[in-house]
Amino acid sequence: MGDGEEGTTGSGLDRLASVNLNLLVPLLALLEERSVTRAAQRVGLSQPAMSHALTRMRRLLGDELVVRQGTGMTLTPRALELIPPLRSALEQAARVVNFPSFDPATDRRVITVALTNSTAFVIGPRLTRLLAERAPHTTLRLRTITVPTEATFTDLGVDVVLISEGHFSPYPRERLYNDRCVVVASPDTPPEASALDLLTTQPHIVVDTDRRVFPYSVLEEKGIPYRVGQLSSDFLLVPFLVARAGGVALFRYQVAATMRTLTDLRIEEFPFPLPGLGIDMVWNPRLTDQYFVEWLRTLLFDAAAQL
C-alpha cells in the first residue's frame, strides 16, 4: 500500500476522534422508534436531552433525519440508509464490550418466545425440557399471540417470534420446521373410508373465526360437499373434540400428531395439493447479544429436530 492510501485510511479513522460516538446509540434508537419520546425512554435519556442529541446528530450528518408528517414522524432517505450499517456497527461494538455476555450454565435471564398457542403446544414442551438441561437458571416465558404485529417483533421483552410462513414479517426469517394441513377424524370412523370420504360424510368441526380456513376454499373450488356440524373458538380444542365426540376437521399435522400422544386420533393426508404451513423464526432486531442469539437458535433447532 502506498503512502497516499495509508494516509487516507488513517485520516478516516482519526476523524472519529472528533466525533462523539455516544450519539450513535440514541441515533439508532431514534431511527428505529421514529419518536423522540420513545427513543429517549429506550436509552434512558430525558426528552430534552434526546432533542438536544437530535440537533447534534443533524448537524453532524448534515441531514434532518426525522421530519414530522401529520401526527407522526417519518425518516429521510439518508436516515433509512443509515439503519442497517449503524445497527451492525453497534452490534459489533456490543460484542467487543460484552464478550463473553452469555453463559447458559449461570445466566438467570427470562427468555421470551412469542408464538401461537398451537405452536406452543408443539414446541413448548421440548423447548422447556432442553432449557432445563442446558440453562437451568433461566426462565422461559411463552407469549401467545394470534396474528403478529409490528409491536410483536420489536417489543423489548420478546427475543424471537415463531410465525407461520403465511404471516408477514418486516425482518429476516428462517424456517424452524415444516408443517402441512391434514384431515383428522375420530378413530371410530370406518377404516376403509378415504380422506375424501371422511370430508364428505362426517360433520366438520371448524374454528369459529371470520377468516375461512384455507383448505375449505380448495374444497369449494373443486365442488366437494361438506357440512359444518360444530364451531369452536378454541383452535386446540378442535382435534380433541374430533377424537372424543366424532366428526372430522382440517388441521396442522404437527399439532394433530402431538394431540395424538394424548388421545386416540385418526390422521389422513389432505386429498389435494396444498402449500406448506411451515413455522419460521424471526428475531427481535434490537437484540445485540449475538452469542445468546446463536445459542437460542441452536436450542430451537434441537427442540424441532424430532418433528
* Domains annotated on the chain, with CATH: 14-98 (1.10.10.10), 110-175+281-304 (3.40.190.10), 181-269 (3.40.190.10)
CA distance 296 to 290: 10
pLDDT of residue 296: 95
- Predicted confidence at residue 120, as pLDDT, reads 95
Can you give the pLDDT at residue 168?
A: 87
Residue-level pLDDT at 29: 87
Sheet holding 160-164, edge to edge: 139-144, 110-115, 160-164, 279-283, 174-177
Which tens digits make up the pLDDT trace of 167-202?
888 889 999 999 999 999 999 999 999 999 999 999
Which residue type occupies 140? L
Asked whether residue 2 carries a pLDDT value surpassing 80, the answer given is no
Q: Does pTM top 0.75 for this prediction? A: no
Tell me what pLDDT residue 35 has. 87
Inform me whether the pLDDT recorded for 241 exceeds 80. Answer: yes
pLDDT bucket at 1, cuts 50 / 70 / 90: very low
Highest mean pLDDT among 32-46, 66-80, 246-260: 246-260
Q: Where are the beta strands (DSSP E) in the chain?
A: 66-69, 72-75, 110-115, 139-144, 160-164, 174-177, 181-185, 204-207, 228-232, 248-252, 266-269, 279-283
Q: What percent of the chain has pLDDT over 70?
A: 91
pLDDT of residue 3: 45
